[in-house]
């Protein structure tokens, strides 16, 4: 029983970080209908941001997470303004954004490989390998701090979307883009801000990744597959769905690792994804599209 509780706790801690990683991706899709295949690459950029601030300046990754939010937000706004308005009116907007973000992922992977090389890196903080003990159960400090930071950011995102004027526009655009535009919502501005928020969440998640996992430039392809599984299972565009899917699938993955083998852990994500697409294609909290 103790072992089961331990595995579930570790799964929930990991799922909390996955939830933050997936929230920006599903927000961008919900507002813009863009499947950002470069999202995980930007998480790696955030990991290098946190790593070098810690190694070079001694800034704790939890503090660099706060610094990453405005930096990556402005970067996301600039990136959106440069690349996406040119294709907004295209009949093949969805296909073009997939190709565009796919190219961005390769571009930033190449930049990171050139400047940082392909060796494994991780920020070795004092709490990375330490833990709290409750009887026979241990709670890793690094994962606990990371999931706490993730929860704070996700609650802040929820409050922003629910109570701010811009949040009203974001939610209206997510529900019906054309109707939101008809009632006076500046859809382009909302899309720009949403893309910036998605990038800010990616950067913040990256700083947490910097001390939780060993990372290298091409690691983002492994995470992208998991993140896509999370947002599809939760429902494309649903932040609540992404959080619940992240927690549930991370626990399932931990149980598979413990009971079967670590090599089978990724298959738990893809297996649930396959079943969800067979039973409920719109995901847990997604809306069914009617033609």
Question: What pLDDT, on the 0 to 100 scale, is given for residue 291?
Answer: 41
* Residue 192 vs residue 91, higher pLDDT: 192
Q: In terms of residues, how long is the chain?
A: 291
- Say which range, 44-48, 186-190, 230-234, has the weakest mean pLDDT: 186-190
Average pLDDT over every residue of 130-156: 90
* Residue 98 vs residue 291, higher pLDDT: 98
Question: What pLDDT, on the 0 to 100 scale, is given for residue 239?
Answer: 86
pTM of the model: 0.92
What is the rounded CA–CA span in Å between residue 85 and residue 239? 25
Q: Answer yes or no: is pLDDT of 127 > 90.
A: no
Q: Answer yes or no: is pLDDT of 95 > 90.
A: no
For residue 188, how far is the Cα from the chain centroid? 23
Average pLDDT over every residue of 265-285: 87
What is the rounded CA–CA span in Å between residue 67 and residue 286? 33
Report the largest interatomic distance among the alpha carbons of the chain, rounded to a whole angstrom. 60
String of DSSP letters for the chain = -HHHHHHHHHHHHHHHHHHHHHHHHHHHHHHH----TTHHHHHHHHHHHHHHHHHHH---HHHHHHHHHHHHHHHHHHHHHHHSGGGTT-TTHHHHHHHHHHHHHHHHHHHHHHHH-S--B----TTTT-EEEETTEEEEHHHHHHHHHHHHHHHHHHHHHHHSHHHHHHHHHHH-HHHHHHTT--HHHHHHHHHHHHHHHHHHHHHHHHHHS-B-GGGHHHHHHHHHHHHHHH-TT-HHHHHHHHHHHHHHHHHHHHHT-GGGHHHHHHHHHHHHHHH-TT-SSPPPP--
């Amino acid at each position: 029983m103790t072992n089961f509780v331990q595995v579930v706790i570790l799964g929930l801690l990991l799922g909390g970080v996955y939830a933050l990683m997936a929230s920006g991706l599903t927000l961008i899709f919900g507002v813009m209908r863009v499947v950002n295949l470069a999202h995980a690459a930007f998480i790696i950029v955030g990991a290098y941001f946190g790593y070098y601030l810690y190694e070079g300046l001694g800034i704790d990754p939890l503090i660099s997470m706060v610094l990453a939010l405005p930096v990556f937000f402005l970067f996301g706004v600039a990136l959106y303004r440069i690349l996406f308005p040119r294709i907004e009116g295209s009949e093949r907007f969805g296909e073009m954004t997939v190709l565009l973000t796919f190219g961005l992922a390769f571009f930033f992977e190449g930049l990171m490989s050139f400047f940082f090389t392909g060796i494994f890196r991780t920020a070795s903080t004092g709490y990375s390998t330490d833990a709290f003990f409750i009887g026979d159960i241990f709670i890793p400090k690094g994962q606990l701090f990371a999931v706490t930071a993730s929860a704070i950011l996700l609650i802040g995102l929820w409050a922003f979307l629910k109570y701010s004027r811009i949040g009203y526009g974001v939610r209206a655009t997510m529900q019906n883009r054309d109707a939101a535009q008809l009632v006076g919502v500046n859809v382009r501005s909302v899309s720009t801000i949403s893309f910036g928020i998605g990038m800010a969440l990616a950067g913040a998640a990256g700083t947490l990744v910097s001390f939780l996992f060993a990372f290298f430039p091409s690691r983002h392809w492994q995470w992208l597959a998991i993140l896509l599984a999370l947002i599809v299972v939760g429902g494309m565009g649903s932040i609540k769905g992404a959080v619940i899917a992240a927690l549930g699938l991370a626990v399932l993955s931990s149980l598979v690792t413990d009971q079967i083998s670590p090599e089978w852990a990724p298959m738990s994500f893809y297996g649930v994804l396959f079943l969800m697409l067979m039973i409920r294609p719109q995901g847990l909290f997604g809306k069914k599209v009617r033609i």
